[in-house]
A and B are shown apart, each in its own frame.
Chain A
């Protein structure tokens, strides 16, 4: 058993060195495509910080003064519920101070100055409103009406604030996702080709192995390991790239003036770590798939 594992590892390493240029190309391609996949994840997550307030079709937020009385809040609630034809009452939610503060922590993740001005006591609470009507004018006229209610601090409309960003984020998501998928397919193809070349270079050995009765798996495994390793190394390189990219971005954002939306576009380290793990996983799968196809397809040499 140990001699078999030793054999597979020796052969993998030898073949790796033999095809250095092709191997490097395969690794770099998978690294670039994985980097793009990782960037997609990060951009998405960063935009989510910005859009977290508007999640779930929320179109209007009614901010309530932090010193509003319980009666005033009840009044606002009943006024909102008085228009069931325009507002989806079942989706109407109220965030109390603690919940609003939690949300603020995400919005101001890259803006500690603004966050420090807020406390769980001083923060406005909010009603999140999902409209039934598609008519923006109708929602707007409602918002004007709510602004005048006692205890209301402000009314924000998604249309004014984040619809552009939301659209932009969707667009970027689609573009980066398509590009990274295409590149991933290219990476599979390149690894496939590298393994095919490696197998062709060793066709005499494979022929002899088959004749003396080596099992197909025994012949295949070193090649599959080679592909797996290429994908995995691509993953490692992409993780390094992603880390560098994210560090540069985070330190760049820190230089922005507080209070601008840009400062929300920051990704916590725990999320970065899980994206890196995902990249390593995808890299390994890409390598294994590419080499498995080649090793099965070209065993008859």
Chain B
């Protein structure tokens, strides 16, 4: 589903954020990218949906080299991927329902599709009863659920999550992780960057560890260390 071949990303003049990274993530896998802050986890995620382009190497998504994709096709690539962030990136002037509907609205989905899909996904994340609330009326965990609903509402092939539990307490994080696990069960490939030991150790999934932009470990059913 996602393949990186000798990918190097350089910021500025000679600061390599990612160096010679290669790995292959098969369909339906759940992968943790771990490592300290600044080790290149977020950069890897940003390379996967072409928010960044590498100086060297190729990134393949769903059988296509996305670095050769013309800029006009990038939006269509992104429609196959959902994004979840540490700070949720919800729109504060919109309700829960509107936040999720927004993702469908701006890619031109008709009203009746929105009316059908948004309640279904809100049910999935357990927020069916709070669709008219505004983000500020929700707890952090609930806000992250809205953000996951928004990322998943279009049934993406891939879900990219950047520190989704970074602002949450352990119990809430557990809930979020089981939700991501559930989404993974539906056939969606999940790539999650984190430095949350507990989460990684509890899940026992593939772990790719980065240090200073270099992959130092790639282990099936790994722990954080």
Chain A interfacial positions (CB closer than 8 Å to B): 3-4, 7, 204-205, 207-216, 218-219
Contacts and interface: CB of A to CB of B under 8 A. Distances in A.
Given A207-B89, A211-B83, A212-B150, A3 B78 contact: no
B17 to A, nearest CB: 19
A212 B89 contact: no
Interface stretch (B35-43, B104-112, B164-172): B104-112
Interface in B183-202: none
The 3 closest A-B pairs by CB, nearest first: A213-B79, A213-B78, A214-B106
B154 interface: yes
Contacts of B109: 3
Contacts of B150: 208, 212
B77 interface: yes
B116 to A, nearest CB: 14
Interface string B76-93: 111100010000010100
30 contacts: A3-B105, A3-B108, A3-B109, A3-B110, A4-B108, A7-B105, A7-B106, A204-B89, A204-B91, A205-B91, A207-B89, A208-B89, A208-B150, A209-B102, A210-B78, A211-B49, A211-B78, A212-B78, A212-B79, A212-B106, A212-B150, A212-B154, A213-B76, A213-B78, A213-B107, A214-B75, A215-B72, A216-B72, A218-B106, A218-B108
Given A3-B110, A3-B111, A204-B91, A216 B75 contact: yes
Given A204-B91, A213-B79, 18 more contacts: A3-B105, A3-B108, A7-B106, A205-B91, A208-B150, A209-B106, A210-B75, A211-B78, A211-B83, A211-B89, A212-B79, A212-B103, A212-B150, A212-B154, A213-B75, A216-B75, A218-B108, A219-B106
Nearest to A7: B105
Contacts, number: 52
Interface of B: 49, 72, 75-79, 83, 89, 91, 102-103, 105-111, 150, 154
Contacts of A209: 102, 106
A38 B134 CA distance: 50
Contacts of A3: 105, 108-111
A212 B83 CA distance: 8
B118 to A, nearest CB: 13
A40 B115 CA distance: 55
A201 to B, nearest CB: 11
Nearest to A219: B106
A213 B77 contact: yes
Contacts of A208: 89, 91, 102-103, 150
Contacts of A213: 75-79, 107
Nearest to A1: B108
A214 B102 CA distance: 10
A213 B77 CA distance: 7
Question: A210, A212, A215: which has the most chain B beta carbons within 10 Å?
Answer: A212
Contacts of A212: 78-79, 83, 102-103, 106-107, 150, 154
